[in-house]
Amino acid sequence: MKRLYIGSMTGQSGKQVITLGLGLALKKRGLEIGYIKPIGKSPLYVDGKLVDADAEVFHRAVGLEEPLEKTSPLVYTIELLRKAMTGRLKNTGRKLLKEIETLQAELVLIAGTTDIFEGSLFGVNGLRICQMEGTKALIVERWRPEETVDDLLAAKELLGSALAGTVINRVDPQSLKEVQKEVVPFLKRHGIKVFGVVPDEKALSAVTVKDLVDALGAKVISGREHLDALVENFSIGAMDVTHALRYFQRIPKKAVITGAHRADIQMAALETSTRCIILTGGGQPNDVIIARAREKAVPILSVRTDTYTTVDRIEALLGSAKMRDPQRLPLVRDLVERHIDIKGLLRAI
């Protein structure tokens, strides 16, 4: 039996989608797959039991035989954090490692949480899991020109021989050639195997305005009849209006996140390909903006959260939207099969 921990050095890398795609692709090949997400951060109640939402999707999509709760033994809640910090949780890390050890399959996929360090509070982060006998790590990193290579070199230093390799994920079209011709050879020279360079697929990441309303708990100020519009990109409107207009013109089918006081930014957004405007801090737009938005069929949403929190929630939605829509599952599997060297990965573990 082999184990593969799938994690990342930073959050929002798309590792849960890669994990699901691998599970579907390996099942198609006839491999017996096990799965566990030791620490979940997306609480979901199923038949009265608290589980992680990503684990529930994987369990259902891949058709695992073991009980759902076995794939999701611990889920973050405020109460759980309080118990951990006040010493009311005993031997949690040891118990979670035991849960991993009890899974029997040809290959057990272990889904990481935000990054390889998270879980230290409970005594079992990604680094500790990768110390288990027979466990290798696949580090999935979203392409960020100034950070990804540095993060992967750090992963190599931290994980050593436990690192099977990496997948560079969500690479924008303009960077694909650079990553394939320059970054991949550099990493290989430093002993890091690159099993795949995965492009950012807009067909997978698009969400409806209604999805945003639900995920953000947003109030619909206007344009309720256009909530089925698909959003493929997001932009934060915090610059001066001259730069904003040029910037917005380059980004199609977007949601613009800005403050209610920035009527200039809102108007600039409405003159470009914008699917909705999200006003942070609970603010309201002025009447001129509302009238123009109605002319353009662009919904205006208002949220109580600040910009940082709003963006964080949107990023979480983007990851889960790909996985929870059954119609996207073949696309997820196809993405992995086309862009990841699955045979090479299996040989490395």
Digit-coded pLDDT (tens) for 245-259: 888 998 899 999 999
For 189, the enclosing helix (H) or strand (E) is: helix 184-189
**What token pair was written down for 12?**
């929002």
- DSSP-derived 3-state class of residue 134: coil
Residue 110: name the closest of 255, 227, 1 by CA. 1
Four-way CATH pick for 205-316: 3.40.1390.20, 3.40.50.720, 3.90.650.10, 3.40.640.10: 3.40.1390.20
Cα separation of 251 and 165, whole Å?
33
Could you tell me which residues are beta bridge partners of residue 194? 166
Residue 4: name the closest of 134, 151, 190 by CA. 134
Domain ranges of the chain: 2-200, 205-316
Confidence of residue 238 (pLDDT cuts 50, 70, 90): confident
Residues 136/4, Cβ–Cβ less than 8 Å: yes
Q: What is the CATH number of domain 2-200?
A: 3.40.50.300
Residues 171/179, Cβ–Cβ less than 8 Å: yes
What are phi and psi for residue 67, nearest 5 degrees?
-55, 145
Q: What is the mean pLDDT of residues 125-152?
A: 96
pLDDT at 205 over 80: no
> Hunting for tokens 């940082």 — which residue is that?
308
pLDDT at 321 over 70: no
Cα separation of 129 and 135, whole Å?
8
The pLDDT score that the predictor gives to residue 12 is 78
> Hunting for tokens 């096990």 — which residue is that?
34
Burial group, residue 266, by CB count within 10 angstroms (0-12, 13-18, 19+): buried
Q: Which residues contact 250 (CB under 8 A, 6 or more apart)?
A: none
What are phi and psi for residue 173, nearest 5 degrees?
-55, -35
Sheet containing 107-111: give its strands across: 33-36, 107-111, 2-7, 135-142, 163-171, 194-199
Digit-coded pLDDT (tens) for 57-116: 999 999 999 999 999 999 988 899 899 999 898 899 999 999 999 999 999 999 999 899
Q: What is the mean pLDDT of residues 309-318?
A: 79
Chain-centroid distance, C-alpha 109: 17
Digit-coded pLDDT (tens) for 162-187: 999 999 999 999 999 999 999 999 99
The pLDDT score that the predictor gives to residue 43 is 84
